[in-house]
Amino acid sequence: MKTHTFGNTDIQVTPVGLGTWAIGGWMWGGTDEAQSIDTIHAAIDKGIGLVDTAPVYGFGRSEEIVGKALAGGRRDKVALATKVALNWNDDQTKVWRDATAARIEREVEDSLRRLQTDHIDIYQIHWPDPQTPMEETARAMENLLKDGKIRAVGVSNFTPEQMEEFLKIVPLHSLQPPYNLFERGIEKNILPYCREHGLATITYGGLCRGMLTGKMREDTEFTGDDLRKNDPKFQGDRYRQYLKAVSELDQFARERYQKNVLALALRWLIDQEGVTTALWGARRPDQLDPVSEIEGWSLDAEAKQTIDEILERCIQDPVGPEFMAPPSRDETG
């Protein structure tokens, strides 16, 4: 897989990166460490050059697994991205935003230890924290950059106004927003802002929590702590609307490109102007088999228009990913 420069840095990344939220197990029904390590190894073998994780993914579990997978000579084969600025209670029943300098200074050391590395390539504020002054957060990240503990400063789930405030204080290199065929809110002003300011983007949710794999059915059941039990896209008549769209997109992909809807969704994503790397979440090595299906072709303007027409026809009650936003400290009770 070809590499390209990550925004205004000297970091090299690939168009597809590996997302490891599900590998952490939390909100995904648990994890299998050996299988997860094999998945990360398979991603590297297929040429994927960016691995993205976060402390809150399994409350350190995902980072630990990534660290084990990259030990023994694989660390230099990928750009390693993780996050900071979420906190949780001892029994892991509540998560809240915490972008204080103290939290950042503590968490970076914990992440370096779990990841078994001396530096993090891309370090991202996971969610904006309205209870902490932006200057405090930005200065803490600037100090890590100066100390060589991180190579690039990123934010995630920020608005253009929040990025503008951050940029007035210290340099900013990237944004990680949600983006997929079904969740396109960033097209209005966030992607244009990133393009205008030379910021790289790492988009997450490319397959919309599995909806765009083509494997979901109306009777698919989600058990345990699976976040899709609370995702409005997977409920009632709205779920049927999205499934109909998936079916029609799959038919279009097969007739036009001899591909399936999963390949179409990822190809569409990396063809969007302003997308630097699109994350692909996987828990098993075989889930990475379709990686080869997204190379060597692209979508023209006519195909993109057809896709938009399918979405407009099938989905009368669209909804975004807002349900995933964690509370601020004063909302946790």
In SS3 terms, 82-120 reads as: EEECEEECCCCCCEEECCCHHHHHHHHHHHHHHHCCCCE
Q: Which residues, given as ranges, of the chain have pLDDT below 50?
A: 28
Read off the amino acid at residue 97. R
Give, for 183, the enclosing helix (H) or strand (E). Answer: none
DSSP class of residue 234?
A: G
Candidates 243, 236, 234, 264; CA nearest to 252 is 264
Give, for 134, the enclosing helix (H) or strand (E). Answer: helix 134-147
Q: Which CATH superfamily is domain 4-331 in?
A: NADP-dependent oxidoreductase domain (3.20.20.100)
Instruction: Give the global pTM.
Output: 0.94
242 is catalytic: no
What pLDDT, in 10s, does the model give residues 87-113?
Answer: 998 887 899 999 999 999 999 999 999
Read off the amino acid at residue 93. T
What are the residue boundaries of the structural domains of the chain, listed by start?
4-331
Tally of CB atoms within 10 A around 329: 14
Candidates 205, 51, 73; CA nearest to 120 is 51
Q: What is the pLDDT of residue 109?
A: 98
Q: Which of 57, 179, 204, 242 is catalytic?
A: 57
